[in-house]
Amino acid sequence: MSTLSETPRTDSPETGKRLNKTLVLDAISFFARFWMAYTWIKAGISKLDAHMAVTQNITAYEIFTPQWSDFLARLIGPLEIAGGVLLLLGIFLRTSAKVSIGVLTLFIIGVAQAWLRGLELDCGCFDPTATTTNYQLEYATTIGRDLFYIALSAWTVHRPFKKWAIYTP
């Protein structure tokens, strides 16, 4: 009498479904990690040579003093680039994504308070020198976009794409 092995068949329909599901989840994780890396790097680079415009954008929110606005304007671009590089290289993926969620939440709070207070300003997110005339649409679009970015960052916290990552504890 022969005994059959208890190992699952690799050609079963169930295995194929699991493999397809894994590929889809990996694709979402890949997109979330690398899109957020691109987004942070692009936002940071746009601020590097626009110190005065970034300072004016931050001051327009009427949250910080001019001195703090100047300090944040010097800091925000390099920090956004650093966050993007960490995601790109796969260094502390979950931690980097958690910081991303925190920063995006602060951005949403800043835009929402400006909207509620009736301030007319451009967020300065990707082009500090840009101007807009439809502030209501700009605020809603910015908050919606940042919520999407929070979802991508949360996905990276939940299921980071570790392939090509340098260090993910």
Percentage of the chain lying above the pLDDT 90 cut:
76
Which is more confidently placed, 121 or 91?
Answer: 91
The confidence band for 89, taking pLDDT boundaries of 50, 70 and 90, is: very high
Residues 112, 91: Cα–Cα separation, whole Å: 32
pTM reported for the whole predicted model: 0.88
Residues 149, 145: Cα–Cα separation, whole Å: 6
Residues 163, 147: Cα–Cα separation, whole Å: 26
- The domain limits of the chain are 34-158
**Mean pLDDT for the stretch of residues 65-86:** 97
The confidence band for 28, taking pLDDT boundaries of 50, 70 and 90, is: very high
The confidence band for 9, taking pLDDT boundaries of 50, 70 and 90, is: low
Contact criterion met (CB below 8 Å) for 77 and 45: yes
Question: No. of H helices and E strands in the chain?
Answer: 5, 0
The confidence band for 92, taking pLDDT boundaries of 50, 70 and 90, is: very high
